[in-house]
Amino acid sequence: MAKKKVAVAMSGGVDSSLTAATLLEQGFEVIGITMQLTSDVSALYSGDRSCCSSNEANDARRVADFLSIPHYVIDFHEEFQNKVVDNFIGEYLKGRTPNPCIACNRYIKFGKLFNFIDELGIDYLATGHYARIEEINGQFYLKKGVDRKKDQSYVLYNVTAQQLSRILFPMGLQSKDETRTLAEKLNLPVAHKPDSQEICFVPNDDYKTFLLKNSNKNADALQPGEIVSVDGKVLGHHKGASFYTIGQRKGLGIAAEKPLYVVKLDIPNKQVVVGGADDVFSKRLTAVDIHWIYPQTFPLKVSAKVRYGPRIADCVVEELDDEKAEVTFDIPQRAVTTGQSIVFYDDDIVLGGGIIDKVLS
């Protein structure tokens, strides 16, 4: 019987490298693919450590050579620019805070790349994500990774039920510490390579400089304006509302009797609105661009995350239309931020998610 073919999205990091090694050991015919996500080919082999424009291609190729598997670099930079980078800039200029990893997974890894390997007749696509896929009664479900501290199911909610039968997440069955240990035992060239914690296309994680360099400097979101209280009192001034985030306390540059936090970015009026600790909490929101992995019945009682991380809360979801929903939490949530994703769970199963559009109360 011919071996099943699997394409591994190799970023040059330890997770995707061990994914390739693990699947090879399990008997798959493994092909390594690194996505070129910048128009500057020379940058792909620079000394930088980001996942999309760095020395990562060299590291991925070193691992592929070590494992004796073929390795290819595929140019997806135009799609990445259009769907991820431009969206990132556009959302910030609207006073929203996007998650570019979610856009990349939706449009690039499990969009462009998945379609690419499908056309080649490759059976599976594998990545180094810490999440799991489980078949239950003939249906495939996306689940949280075993390592709850590392769990990445939040950024994967846009995968489809049809895709799940052809996606492999070997790292989701173990902890990050186990990954390091196994990589060391196998003598993988990247076993001790540190994880990248930055947005891959934003140099030095300095998104302020990135926005100023790559967008219209006259945009309202980048203009100086007032810092005002929730009741409209002017407390100070800022250099651009987009440089603030909901829930932010430090760096406001204003004196007050009690701690103040950013509660709203009013772009048309060039204002950063601040309030007390209680003002940062919200119980209701609307979400758009909703995607359900399987159809749901409403009202839906579930748990949800409003940002990447372990914090999860019970809520009720009411469908407003096919791609819009209203969510009411049992307990108010801190720093709910437009532009971020809300992801819905039934225990450890990912049901779907959407983009937070409005914070209602």
83 and 37 co-located in one domain: yes
Task: Provide the residue-wise pLDDT of the chain in tens; the chain has 361 residues.
Answer: 689 999 999 999 999 999 999 999 999 999 999 999 987 654 444 444 444 445 789 999 999 999 999 999 999 999 999 999 999 999 999 999 999 999 999 999 999 999 999 999 999 999 999 999 999 999 999 999 999 999 999 999 999 999 999 999 999 999 999 999 999 999 999 999 998 877 889 998 899 999 999 999 899 999 999 999 999 999 999 999 999 999 999 999 998 889 999 999 999 999 999 999 999 999 999 999 999 999 999 999 999 999 999 899 999 999 999 899 999 999 999 999 999 999 999 999 999 999 999 999 8
Is residue 287 situated within a structural domain? yes
Is residue 121 situated within a structural domain? yes
Contact 304, 345 (CB under 8 A): yes
Q: Which range of residues forms the domain containing residue 21?
A: 5-204
Is residue 315 annotated as part of the catalytic site, yes or no? Answer: no
64 and 182 co-located in one domain: yes
63 and 195 co-located in one domain: yes
Which is nearest to 296 in space by CA: 356, 347, 353, 360? 353
Cβ neighbours around 115 below 10 Å, total: 11
DSSP state at residue 11: -
44 and 179 co-located in one domain: yes
Cβ neighbours around 223 below 10 Å, total: 15
Of the residues 226, 241, 275, the one at which a domain ends: 275
Phi, psi for 74 (deg, rounded to 5)? -110, 135
Considering the entire predicted model, what is its pTM?
A: 0.94
Tokens encoding 335: 């720093």
- Would you call 327 helix, strand, or coil by DSSP? strand
257 and 290 co-located in one domain: no
108 and 222 co-located in one domain: no
CATH of the domain at 254: 2.30.30.280
Cβ neighbours around 128 below 10 Å, total: 23
Is residue 27 situated within a structural domain? yes
Q: What is the pLDDT of residue 40?
A: 62
CATH of the domain at 345: 2.40.30.10
Q: What is the pLDDT of residue 46?
A: 44
Q: What is the pLDDT of residue 54?
A: 52
Distance in angstroms (rounded) separating the CA atoms of residues 124 and 282:
41
Q: What is the pLDDT of residue 43?
A: 46
What separation in angstroms does the CA of 63 have from each of 2, 174, 188, 231? Answer: 24, 21, 7, 58
Contact 20, 32 (CB under 8 A): yes
Distance in angstroms (rounded) separating the CA atoms of residues 360 and 95:
16
108 and 195 co-located in one domain: yes
Q: Which residues contact residue 102 at a Cβ distance below 8 angstroms, ignoring those fewer than 6 apart?
A: 155, 157, 158, 341
CA 139 distance to own-chain centroid: 25
Q: What is the pLDDT of residue 44?
A: 43
CATH of the domain at 53: 3.40.50.620
14 and 32 co-located in one domain: yes
Of the residues 160, 181, 204, the one at which a domain ends: 204
The tokens 């479900």 sit on which residue? 141
Is residue 211 situated within a structural domain? no
Is residue 209 situated within a structural domain? no
Contact 138, 272 (CB under 8 A): no
348 and 306 co-located in one domain: yes
Q: Among positive and negative, which fits the CA dihedral 33, 35, 40, 45?
A: negative
Is residue 136 situated within a structural domain? yes
Burial of residue 79 (number of CB atoms within 10 Å: 0-12, 13-18, 19+): middle
Is residue 290 situated within a structural domain? yes
Distance in angstroms (rounded) separating the CA atoms of residues 339 and 323:
15
146 and 234 co-located in one domain: no
In DSSP notation, 293-307 reads SS---SSEEEEEESS
Is residue 148 situated within a structural domain? yes
Residue in 51, 52, 101, 200 annotated catalytic: 200
The tokens 């760096």 sit on which residue? 251
Q: What total of structural domains would you count in the chain? A: 3
Distance in angstroms (rounded) separating the CA atoms of residues 157 and 143:
10
Is residue 51 annotated as part of the catalytic site, yes or no? Answer: no
Distance in angstroms (rounded) separating the CA atoms of residues 181 and 333:
37
88 and 9 co-located in one domain: yes
Of the residues 204, 224, 255, the one at which a domain ends: 204
Residue in 52, 101, 104, 315 annotated catalytic: 104
338 and 284 co-located in one domain: yes
